[in-house]
């Protein structure tokens, strides 16, 4: 492995144009045939390099990065500008979160030697974005898309990533344009629909944002952390804006199954119970929240209100005191007017 660790430096030296200057004519004479042999490998050597390229590509796909480094060392000792080796070695460093400057230099070298190397552009853009260098990331991502690939899904991912970089620099219209390309390339791309919805919201295009959010839910795994914010937005859009209250209520109910103590969903469901006079259900809903969050004075106050509507004044007074102890100002004001302590 000592030999392997030298290769990032060797590649960097080559990339930035440095060279070792020999001090004697004899050394120069010896160096020249060696350089020629690197440029023109014999058929046997070419076959060996081809076999190593297949092994390094398979190792990269299988995420066996130690093997990638071994075969990168072998290939680069014969062909220092071999793009399969420079790319796979750069990707191995990136995925292991080590030698990141070398990884970037390896991607740059790959692009220099193969301006159509789609994956190198994308990975370099991703690294730059992780450093918050979004304008540079945008430039490389666009070049990668222009270089193109026969894999439609990969092209969709690149457009989705580019949309994210545009979003970070608040170029929401540009973000929407490329995210629409991503979902056109892959109509089942849930996370691209999600990002499209978020971008539309920044421009107050709520109808478009809601449609994209619904497409995201239809094409995403049932992941609470991912879906709950979408249900929150859709319940707000349809219910609070009175676009389609039954639809908004449905999204709130779906959200409650994933997040039973979410105040956004509880608020929508409670308003529905209130409009129908379902006060027992109203009480149970807020009691569940109040018992879950022992600091929540608003939930306790709502329980008291529900009991008052049911005509159960003793429980209403009990929960009013609980709400007051939790800091609810309305409860305290009512209790003061009743000359009740809490």
Q: Give the number of other CB atoms < 10 A from CB of residue 179.
A: 29
Nearest to 107 by CA among 87, 128, 127: 87
Give yes or no for a contact between 337 and 329, defined as CB atoms under 8 angstroms apart.
no
Closest CA to 270 of 281, 255, 257: 281
Q: How far is residue 304's CA from residue 328's CA, in Å, rounded to a whole number? A: 12
- Give 75's contacts (C-beta < 8 A, 6+ positions apart): 49, 52, 53, 56, 82, 84, 85
Torsion angle of the four alpha carbons 44, 49, 52, 58, in this order, in degrees rounded to the nearest 10: -120
pLDDT tens digits in sequence order for the chain, 342 residues long: 434 444 444 444 443 332 323 333 333 334 444 443 445 568 888 999 999 999 999 999 999 999 999 999 999 999 999 999 999 999 999 999 999 999 999 999 999 999 999 999 999 999 999 999 999 999 999 999 999 999 999 999 999 999 999 999 999 999 999 999 999 999 999 999 999 999 999 999 999 999 999 999 999 877 788 899 999 999 999 999 999 999 999 999 999 999 999 999 999 999 999 999 999 999 999 999 999 999 999 999 999 999 999 999 999 999 999 999 999 999 999 999 999 999
Q: Does domain 1-19+42-114 fall into CATH 1.25.40.10?
A: yes
Both structure tokens of 153 = 């899904």
DSSP code string of 219-288 = TS---HHHHHHHHHHHHIIIIITTS-HHHHHHHHHHHHHH-TT-HHHHHHHHHHHHHHT-HHHHHHHHHH
Exposure letters 89-114 (e unless 16+ CB within 10 A, then b): bbbbbbeeeebeebbbbbbbbbbebb
Distance (Å, rounded) from C-alpha 107 to C-alpha 125? 10
- Beta carbons of 82 and 90 less than 8 angstroms apart: no
Q: Which residues contact 128 (CB under 8 A, 6 or more apart)?
A: 104, 134, 136, 137, 140
d(CA 168, CA 297): 38
Comparing CA positions, the residue from 254, 226, 224 lying closest to residue 239 is: 254
Query: Shortest CA distance to 162 belongs to which of 188, 124, 115, 197?
Result: 124
Assess contact for 134 and 169: CB atoms under 8 A. Answer: yes
- Predicted TM-score (pTM) of this structure: 0.81
């Amino acid at each position: 492995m000592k030999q392997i660790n030298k290769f990032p430096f060797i590649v960097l030296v080559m990339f930035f144009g440095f060279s070792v200057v020999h001090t004697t004519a004899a050394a120069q004479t010896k160096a020249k045939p060696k350089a020629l042999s690197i440029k023109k490998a014999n058929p046997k050597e070419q076959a060996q390099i081809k076999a190593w390229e297949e092994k390094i590509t398979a190792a990269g796909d299988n995420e066996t990065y130690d093997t990638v480094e071994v075969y990168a060392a072998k290939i680069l000792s014969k062909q220092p500008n071999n793009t399969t080796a420079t790319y796979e070695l750069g990707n191995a460093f990136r995925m292991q979160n080590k030698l990141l400057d070398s990884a970037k230099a390896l991607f740059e070298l790959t692009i220099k030697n193969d301006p159509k190397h789609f994956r190198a552009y994308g990975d370099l853009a991703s690294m730059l974005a992780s450093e918050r260098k979004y304008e540079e990331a945008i430039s490389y991502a666009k070049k990668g898309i222009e270089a193109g690939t026969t894999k439609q899904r990969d092209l969709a991912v690149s457009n989705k990533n580019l949309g994210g970089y545009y979003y970070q620099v608040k170029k929401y219209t540009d973000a929407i344009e490329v995210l629409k390309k991503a979902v056109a390339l892959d109509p089942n791309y849930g996370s691209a629909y999600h990002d499209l919805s978020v971008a539309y919201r920044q421009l107050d295009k709520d109808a478009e944002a809601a449609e994209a959010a619904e497409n995201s839910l239809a094409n995403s795994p049932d992941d609470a952390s991912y879906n709950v914010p979408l249900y929150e937005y859709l319940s707000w859009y349809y219910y609070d804006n009175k676009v389609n209250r039954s639809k908004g209520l449905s999204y709130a109910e779906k959200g409650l199954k994933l997040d039973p103590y979410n105040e956004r969903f509880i608020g929508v469901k409670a308003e529905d119970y209130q409009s129908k006079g379902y006060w027992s259900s109203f009480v149970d809903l807020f009691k569940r929240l109040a018992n879950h969050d022992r600091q929540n004075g608003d939930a306790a106050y709502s329980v008291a209100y529900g009991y008052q509507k049911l005509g159960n004044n003793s429980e209403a007074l009990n929960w009013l005191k609980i709400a007051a102890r939790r800091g609810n100002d309305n409860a305290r004001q009512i209790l003061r007017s009743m000359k009740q302590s809490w």
